[in-house]
Amino acid sequence: MHRRSTEEWIRLSLRTPGILIFGMVMAPCGWVLDLTATVAPNWRTLHEIPDTPPDQFVQQGIWDICRTTTVSTRPDCNLEDSTYFGNEIIRVAQGLMVASLIVTLIGLAVAIPGVRCWKDRPNWIVAGLGGLLIFLSGVMTIIPIAWYTHILPNITTKSPLVDVRVGYCIILGYIGGIFEVLGGVVMFIGICRCCGGKNRGESRVEEVMGTRFSHQKPPPRLVNVPSLSRPRTSDNSSVPYSKDSIDDDVSFPRAKSPAGRSGNTSYGGRPYDADL
């Protein structure tokens, strides 16, 4: 099957494609949420701990553990709990969350030169590779978050009788990972020219040319206008009628022209008005 060359496609607009804008917005938002989920000590909370006040609870993250109360605004952090940090999920989550943050930054650094910011056309290969890295970073975020949520009640603690609840870092991690997965996938599909090139804002050259010619107005029809010129008389007059025809066409009486005077001047009659 004949493979179409890149010269047979054309972009009707030089604006940055929407799929690249979507990916470049979603990836930084996901990275900020993942960073918060990584450093904040609230992957889960422990309530109703024995031998503690009822309003006191413990917040556990993957790097730190804090103790606080419902009325306190300054938690007591840097608590030691070798039993909690000895779980396998904690070591896996630490490595994958840090790796996810680094891979997201690398993906953005790769994708930025491919996006049309200072050039007329985007580099789809470079932008797609950046989207692939962003997609992988989102997967690396979702894996430890989902694993931690699955074994949340089974993670060993010093006291097995406590009330275990989900922390806000789990919610932020899920949202950030989904943002990065969606942004990376949308940017990566720009490599392939699917959906007739609509995903890249492109159209085939023959389609563009055919549509352009079909919308052109038909040429105006020529109309033969009869000539208004009439034959002139032999005396080169600008009036298309002869002098005799004008005399015949007069409908009112005209004064008679005075007769030529003879040499006899003894005529004593009264002159007429026409003679005046």
The answer as to whether 194 is a domain residue is yes
The span from the CA of 183 to the CA of 196, in Å, is 21
Distance CA 89, CA 150 (A): 11
Residue 261 lies in a domain: no
User: Does residue 243 fall inside a structural domain?
Assistant: no
Determine the distance from the C-alpha atom of residue 41 to the mean position of all C-alpha atoms in its chain, rounded to a whole number. Answer: 38
Q: Please give the DSSP secondary-structure letter assigned to residue 86.
A: T
In a domain, 61, yes or no: yes
Count up the domains in the chain and report the number. Answer: 1
CATH code of residue 83: 1.20.140.150
Domain carrying residue 25: 15-208
pLDDT digits (tens, 9 = 90+) for 47-67: 887 778 888 888 888 998 888
How large is the average pLDDT for residues 252-268? 54
Kindly report, residue by residue over 244-253, the tens digit of the pLDDT: 554 555 555 5
**Rounded to whole angstroms, how far apart are CA atoms 228 and 72?**
104
Helix-strand-coil percent breakdown of the chain, rounded to 5? 50, 10, 45
Identify which has the larger pLDDT, 272 or 96.
96
Residue 35: pLDDT band with limits 50, 70, 90 = very high
For 227-242, b/e burial (b = at least 16 CB within 10 A) is eeeeeeeeeeeeeeee
Q: pLDDT higher for 253 or 76?
A: 76
In a domain, 256, yes or no: no
* pLDDT at position 7: 47
Domain membership flag for residue 228: no
pLDDT by residue (tens digit) across 157-167?
666 677 888 88
- pTM: predicted TM-score of the whole model, two decimal places: 0.66
Contact 50, 66 (CB under 8 A): no
pLDDT given for residue 232 in this prediction: 56
Q: Is residue 86 part of a domain?
A: yes
Q: How far apart are CA 204 and CA 10, in angstroms?
A: 6
Say if residue 30's pLDDT is above 70: yes
Within-domain flag for 36: yes
